[in-house]
Amino acid sequence: MAAAIKSATLTAKPADGPLAAASLVTTILKHCGSKSLEELYESVRATDPKVIAKLSGMVVTEDQFELIESYGDIVAHLRTGPTTSIALCDKCGKTTVITGTPPKKCALTLGCEGTPQKSAMATKTPVVADVSAETA
């Protein structure tokens, strides 16, 4: 019987911007069992076998890495315990870190009448590759 490598691709919700970066990071943190990016980085530096194995199963594209990197100052505040999310105002474009539900009205810009939208988990799509075809 052929060995199979199981992995998952990630699709951010929405597809671009700070909410997408937050979507990807939150999903990666939860998948790896890390409470923050700092904790995840430390686990990788310490070559924690469980975290390395879980990360190995995540397929993150170059564009997704660049997106996360470009919003690094924002996604650095994400936590999975207690859970923090990012909220983005649909009018002024400002972001804030939140716990729970986003506020009904923007309080980030004076006079803004926008509605903050909360980051959501990315969708994980399983990918199974047959290793025997590559090694034969």
Average pLDDT taken over every residue of the chain: 89
What is the distance between the alpha carbons of residues 55 and 52, in angstroms, rounded to a whole number? Answer: 5
pLDDT in tens, 60-111: 999 999 999 999 999 999 999 889 999 999 999 999 999 999 999 999 999 9
Please check whether residue 69 is in contact with residue 81, taking contact to mean a CB–CB distance below 8 angstroms.
no
Please check whether residue 124 is in contact with residue 9, taking contact to mean a CB–CB distance below 8 angstroms.
yes
DSSP conformational letter for 107: -
For the whole model, what pTM was predicted?
Answer: 0.85
Instruction: Return the sign of the alpha-carbon dihedral for residues 58, 120, 45, 60.
Output: positive
pLDDT in tens, 116-131: 999 999 998 888 766 5
Please check whether residue 22 is in contact with residue 63, taking contact to mean a CB–CB distance below 8 angstroms.
no
Where do we find the tokens 């105002």?
Answer: 89
What is the distance between the alpha carbons of residues 36 and 76, in angstroms, rounded to a whole number? Answer: 8
CA distances from 128 to 20, 37, 136 (A): 25, 27, 17
pLDDT in tens, 30-43: 999 999 999 999 99
